[in-house]
Structures are given as structure tokens and as C-alpha cells.
Chain A
Amino acid sequence: MDVYKCTLLSNDKITETSCDMRVLAPEMADAKPGQFVHVKCEGFTLRRPISICDVDGEVLRLVVDRRGKGTEWLTEQRVGATLDILGPLGRGFGTHGRVLVVGGGIGCPPLLYAAKASDSADAILGFRNSAAMMLLGDFRDACDTVQLATDDGSAGFRGRVDELLRRRLSEEKYDRVLSCGPTPMLRACKRVCEELGVPLEVSLEERMGCGVGACLVCAVKLRGADGEYVGHVCKDGPVFKAEEVCFDD
């Protein structure tokens, strides 16, 4: 883990608001699925946390959705630009055994690397609508099956990923479910996995400062053997065992 100057190799628009970006980062070769990088955006006091979507040899892949001024700057960078990247950071997913990845929207990218690293994987991916879909080809290559859900039914199943998750877990055996997406989706997945007795790991988001565990701003309420305690997304996560996360507020 360190700060690296990385050359932007490609930057392709994959939805109306998001870009698939590849940077040259030989130092990230040993990054684990679920870890993230903290990217400097010119003119901003804080870096922006972005999950590692894939690592292929010396090439690090990030998928960035434009949400505000920082990600706007990032997605506008041209091929050949130098990005200042701090990473790899945090604790990632466990990938042993047969894995089911469940992604929602911009939560899908980190699950691609997790699916690739696992022994065998299936995917359930949910999006707002067909225009927001991303990385389908990559997931199809990395997984045995890919099931799609959209809120409006414009592609795949019309409805929520946790409904597909419930069906899938009642029919098939998995060693673990890995999930990343909006909090309500993670909460719903946790309910399903608890009922059906399958271990679930979730990747959480919180506003961050340092990204390395020093400033303590990205707090998350956790439940351990000795009761509730406060952990930090950047250092203790972003991936947590679902049973440890207090989703109650």
C-alpha cells in the first residue's frame, strides 16, 4: 500500500453517467477483491474512494459513476493523464468455494474481481433500468450464470435482487454470498441470507477522510462477540460479515 502515479490507459463511457477506466499500476497486482483505492481529484481536499473492479497483471480497472464534482473531474480525465492513487486499501471479500455475488447498480464493479477470484461464481445483478446496466459481458465471462433484475422491467426480472436471491438460495447451495449496492438492498439481502443460513459479506460505503484508518471519520456500528462497537469502513472494511453490521438506522 502506497501512493502511486498511474497512467490512464483507457476511459470508456459505459452508461450515461459512468466510465470504465484502466490505469497502469503494477504495484496493485496483489490487491484483493473488495479492496478499494483512494483517488486524488484535482482541486479537492479529499480523495475519492473507488472500489477495485479488476486487476489484470499491471492494469487496474475502476468503474466510476459521476455523482458530483469529484467524480465528474475523474471521469473527464483523458487517456495518458496521470492519476494519483493511494491503495490498495481495506479488507476485501472471502472468495473460497462456490460464491454467489449480488450487486446493485454502481455496487456491481467490485463483485467482478471477486467472481473472477472465486472457485466458481454465479451473479445476480440489479439495475434501475436497462440503460444503467454495466459489465454484463464481463460477468458472463467470469460466472457460470448471470441473472438480471431491473426496477422497471426494461431488462431481465422486474423487481428486486433479494427476490431472486431468495429463489436461488432455496434451490442451490453456496458457500457464501457477496454483496455490494445501496443500503436497503444490503439490508434485504442480509434478511434473506439469515433466514436461509448462508454466510453473507457486504461492502459498505461511508464518507471518508484519510482512507487508512487514522482519522476515524468513516464510522460504522458493528456487533461483535462483546456487544456493539464502532469500526471504520476504510480499515475494518469496506467488506464486513453481514451479521456484524447493525443496519438498524
Chain B
Amino acid sequence: MTDMRVSIAGVKFKNPILVASGTFGFGHEYGKFYDLSELGGICVKGTTLHKRDGNPAPRIAETPSGILNSVGLQNPGVDAFCAEEMPFLKRFDTKIVANISGNTLEEYSELAEKVAAAGVDMIEVNISCPNVKAGGLAFGTSCTSAAAATEAVKNHAGSVPVMVKLSPNVTDITEIARAVEAAGADALSLINTLLGMRIDLKTRRPILKNNTGGLSGPAVLPVAVRMVWQVANAVKLPLLGMGGVASGADAAELMFAGASAVAVGTALFNDPYAPIRVRDELAEYCENAGVARVSELTGGVKPW
């Protein structure tokens, strides 16, 4: 039996399969399908300082092997998350990763303080949401602002490890990764969605009311594998890889590229059991390949 335990920045996950922020809500819905304790961890829906209604619908468009979304960080606000969602999530034997998004450095600090006090296991700093005007991507596309957001969160997170979520919508992701590492990040997660757009030929209207949205799903897997590989070669930080994972083989690819653990997102919409299946397929792959510890896969690619 392969040892499926992995750790990122001191946080111990029972297996390397997490669920990606924004695709799993706060766990209630998929918790009706399986015990959330089966998961390595849960990256919960992105929270902001104040409640947000998000963007108008339609917020989703299908694409070849993927989807575009433009939810725009609809969430009840960090106080509601801490008071109403954390008590539920803490009942499970899994790691809870908060996902925070600020408009200003002060907001990032305040968010970090609040979720750390609420007892999350890790903080994922979203500086890469393509669907909100202020904050989000604005922080993630420049080295100085990405570093500043990282520092702000680090200074207010106490002992809770800080993982910064990188955007693929940049010229060189390794520059941002290095800047964030230098600013004190404990880990990195990547990739967030790629900016995209689709148009209805009949109406000549973009399908998304927001005009543009973020691409995710199987279509982005190769981009994720490439970026994880590049970032793994550029920094020493542990990585949480994501983007298009729908099978154990996909997860293994991301781990070979350099990820210590992997998150499953869009695949849930096709198969609510996707994270469990991905975990089991990955375990089976390891068994067959004679891998004693799943963590041995991390960075195991043999580049030409």
C-alpha cells in the first residue's frame, strides 16, 4: 500500500487530493455525496471582507474540454464564513484552506487575521481572480503588488502557513513566484483560471454577461503542468498544483512536474465523485508503479 500522506509547509494532508476554491462551496453540497474526511483538504470558496453578490448571469459558458466562469467572488463575507461555515467544516478530519481576496493591502491583512483566528489550517491568498475589477488579478500580475499582498497576509496570519495562488495570465509566472517567495510565502498554488471569451453567433453577444471569464477544466491541464514545472524549477517552495485534473493520471503529471499535492475543481461538475476517484486512481497508479510514498512523485519528471 502506497503511503498517500503529503505535507505542504508543515500542514499534513492524509492524501494529496484537495478540492479547488470556488468549485466546492463550503462543503455542504458535496458532503451529501461522500464523507468530507475522505479528502486531503478543502480549499473553500473565496471570501472577501464584505459580502459580494458577484456578477450578473450568465456566469458560465462551455468551451472545448472546459468552461469559462465569471462568478465574480460571490460570497457571504469573511465574518459569515468564520461564524457560520467554520464550525461545520471543523467537524471533518480534513484540512481547511481559506481562500482570501482583498481590494487593498489593509483588506488582505484583516482577512488573514480573521481566518487565522477562526482556526483554518492554511491560508490561500487569491491574487489571481480574473473576474473582479479591483483586487484579484490586479495584485497578481505585478511582482511588487504580489509581494506586498504576500507580506500583508504573512504579517497577520500568525502561525498559519500562507500559500499564494498564482495567475497564469502573466508573461512570466516564475518572476511572480520568485517575488512572492522572497516576500515570505510558505507555499504556492497554481494555476487560477486563464482569461477567455466566447461569443454567441446568433446574437453577437458574449455568452458571459461579464463578457470575459476564466477558463478551467481539462483544456488547461497542459498549461498547468508547464507552469508548475517552470515554477518548481524557479523556487524552493512546495506547490499545490491544479488546472484541469480529472483523473489520477492527470494528478500524477502535475506531481511529476513538481506539485506536492493537487486540487480538483471543474471535474466535479461532470462527476461529483471526481476527487475521490482521482485519489483512488492515483493510489492505484502508485501501487502498480511500485511507488512506496506518493510524495516520491513530486518533481520526478525527467526532462529532455
Q: Which residues of A contact B (CB under 8 A)?
A: 1-3, 40, 44-47, 86, 206-221, 229-230, 235, 249
Contact = CB atoms under 8 A, between A and B. Distances in A.
A216 B62 contact: no
B57 A215 contact: no
Given A3-B271, A219-B56, 13 more contacts: A2-B33, A45-B269, A47-B269, A86-B272, A206-B58, A207-B61, A207-B207, A213-B28, A214-B29, A215-B69, A216-B45, A218-B57, A220-B57
B270 A206 contact: no
A249 B58 CA distance: 13
Nearest to B67: A45
Nearest to A2: B33
A3 B32 CA distance: 11
A190 B134 CA distance: 38
Interface in B46-70: 53-63, 65-67, 69
A214 B62 contact: no
- Most B-side CB within 10 Å, residue of A207, A215, A220: A215
A121 to B, nearest CB: 31
B59 A219 contact: yes
Nearest to B52: A230
Q: What band does the interface of chain B fall in when counting residues whose beta carbon is under 8 Å from A?
A: 35 or more
B71 interface: yes
Contacts, number: 99
Nearest to B73: A216
- Most B-side CB within 10 Å, residue of A40, A45, A216: A45
Interface in B19-35: 22-25, 28-30, 32-33
A45 B217 CA distance: 7
A47 B270 contact: yes
A207 B29 contact: no
Contacts of B29: 210, 212-214, 235
Nearest to B63: A45
